[in-house]
């Protein structure tokens, strides 16, 4: 790891100022950034920690659903979101291991938009709103491909607002080494329809499976998707599974998520 300076502001305004500086890089839970720095693949001049800002911490209900501060750890979401949005809490409780869940944050995960991360599927399937220091971004506009989001230079997530569905479940199939999602499917049923978001599988990151959404909006049962197929052409191939295998997982896991959602 190369040397760097470190700042830990206590307000969103101070954080924005610090991030405007030369060579500044936002740091949340550090579960991706710190290992990258240790490998000397990243060498930011200044790390600006976002975990010391009180208004970016915690889970509460409010306008539009469940508000989660961007610097809230997975462990806290797993515990505090549970009474309000169980599928989301269970997703948080299934990320990594206890050490990862104690450090990693929802904002960090969504800002990084790793194509195999769990949280993007929850944000997209819930139709959540990503709130930044500058604006509010709808989930359909926010995710823009592998490690790519709508966030602009100097912009950082301050909270995420999740509408709470009637029924929802997340089913993840672990990549056997990293335990990231080889494929993960989040299904959320709202009064006005069903949203299905898939992580880990697509070769352009998290995506909505709209054919399944239509079928499930008409009939929320696993059998509703039995006639659908997923085109492997849009799927990722790597050491742990081919595109065809992932396409299969998308369908199998969607069915299981619907069943789990009840």
Q: Identify which of 93, 55, 47, 53 has the alpha carbon closest to the alpha carbon of residue 74.
A: 93
Contact 44, 25 (CB under 8 A): yes
Q: How far is the CB of 239 from another protein (least distance, A)?
A: 6
Hey, which residues between 138 and 177 contact another protein (CB under 8 A)? 173, 176-177
192 lies in the binding site for another protein (CB under 8 A) = no
Per-residue contact flags (x/-) with another protein for residues 236 to 255, judged by CB under 8 A: ---xxxx-xx--xx--xx--
> Which residue number, 79 or 179, has a Cβ lying nearer to another protein?
179
Number of residues this chain uses to bind another protein (CB under 8 A): 19
Helix H, strand E, coil C: the string for 151-217 is: CCCCCCEEEEEECCCCEEEEEEEECCCCCCEEEEEEEEEECCEEEEEEECCEECECEECHHHHHHHH
94 lies in the binding site for another protein (CB under 8 A) = no
178 lies in the binding site for another protein (CB under 8 A) = yes
3-state secondary structure of 85: coil
> Which residue number, 182 or 197, has a Cβ lying nearer to another protein?
182
> Which helix (DSSP H) or strand (DSSP E) does residue 24 occupy?
strand 24-27
Q: How far is the CB of 146 from another protein (least distance, A)?
A: 16
Part of the chain binding another protein (CB under 8 A), chosen from 7-15, 154-162, 186-194, 234-242: 234-242
Report the distance separating Cα 136 and Cα 131, nearest Å: 4
Hey, which residues between 28 and 57 contact another protein (CB under 8 A)? 39-40
Q: How far is the CB of 2 from another protein (least distance, A)?
A: 8
> Which residue number, 131 or 182, has a Cβ lying nearer to another protein?
182
User: DSSP code of 10?
Assistant: S
Two structure tokens written together for 174: 């672990």
Contact 200, 116 (CB under 8 A): yes
Question: By the criterion CB under 8 A, which residues form the site for another protein?
Answer: 1, 39-40, 173, 176-178, 182, 239-242, 244-245, 248-249, 252-253, 256
């Amino acid at each position: 790891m190369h040397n760097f300076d470190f700042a830990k502001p206590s307000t969103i305004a101070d954080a924005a100022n610090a991030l405007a500086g030369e060579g500044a890089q936002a740091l949340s839970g550090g579960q991706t950034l710190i290992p990258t720095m240790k490998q000397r693949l990243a060498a930011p001049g200044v790390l600006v920690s976002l975990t010391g800002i009180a208004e970016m911490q915690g889970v509460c209900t409010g306008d539009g659903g469940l508000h989660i501060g961007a610097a809230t750890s997975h462990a806290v979401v797993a515990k505090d979101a549970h009474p309000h949005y169980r599928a989301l809490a269970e997703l948080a409780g299934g990320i990594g291991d206890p050490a990862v869940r104690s450090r990693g944050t929802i904002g960090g995960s969504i800002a990084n938009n790793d194509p195999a991360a769990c949280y993007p599927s929850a944000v997209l399937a819930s139709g959540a709103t990503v709130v930044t220091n500058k604006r509010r971004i709808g989930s359909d506009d926010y995710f823009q491909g592998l490690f790519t989001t709508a966030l602009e230079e100097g912009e950082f997530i301050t909270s995420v607002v999740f509408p709470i569905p009637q029924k929802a479940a997340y089913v993840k199939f672990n990549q056997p080494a990293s335990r990231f999602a080889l494929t993960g499917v989040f299904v959320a049923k709202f009064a006005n329809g069903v949203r299905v978001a898939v992580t880990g599988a697509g070769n352009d990151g998290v995506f909505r499976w709209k054919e399944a959404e239509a079928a499930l909006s008409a009939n929320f049962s696993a059998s509703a998707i039995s006639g659908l197929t997923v085109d492997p052409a849009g799927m990722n191939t790597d050491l742990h599974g081919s595109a065809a295998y992932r396409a299969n997982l998308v369908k199998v896991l969607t069915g299981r998520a619907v069943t789990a959602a009840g």
